Structure 1
Amino acid sequence: MDIKQLQADIAAAVRGNDVLKCEVQNALDALSCATPKLKYLEIHVLKKDENINQFTNDLQECMKELGVLKGILPKVF
């Protein structure tokens, strides 16, 4: 190979390297935007899980109260 070909190959390699650096930076930027969104969603999932657990507990309590009332009601009439 002659010098000009080597220079062209090096220039192409440098351009390729620059393109890869840009792609990596774009990926890092996208990741830095996605991370807070993920944390936000995780918090909402935890809150929904807490709400579901609270609703389940409330339902169980209502079922107990209903059972007591069903036992009392026939005695009233």
Structure 2
Amino acid sequence: MDQIKKALEGKIGQRLADRINQETVVMGAIVAWLVGYFVDSLYITMLIFGASVVAALVACVPPWPMYRKYPVVWLPNRPSNEKAAKSQ
């Protein structure tokens, strides 16, 4: 169970995932609008756009190994100042 948990968790590169997400959704919206316009069907437009959102979710939500190559480096926590905390 720990191996499964470790495989599903992990720090991911937020920039890459965000870029893939934005490009997938925007391109899906453009393609959906064009196809829906020429076919004259709102149903087809929503179907294509929904498929692009699902594709973006599958590409960006799981911590795929390509996202874990360059994890975000966070700054270390600063020690809290007890005097500042007590005065507030």
Is this a same-fold pair by TM over 0.5? no
Larger radius of gyration: 1
> Comparing both chains, which one has the higher relative contact order based on Cα–Cα distances under 8 Å and sequence gaps of 6 or more?
2
Q: Which has the higher helix share?
A: 1
When normalised by structure 1's length, the TM-score is 0.34
When normalised by structure 2's length, the TM-score is 0.31
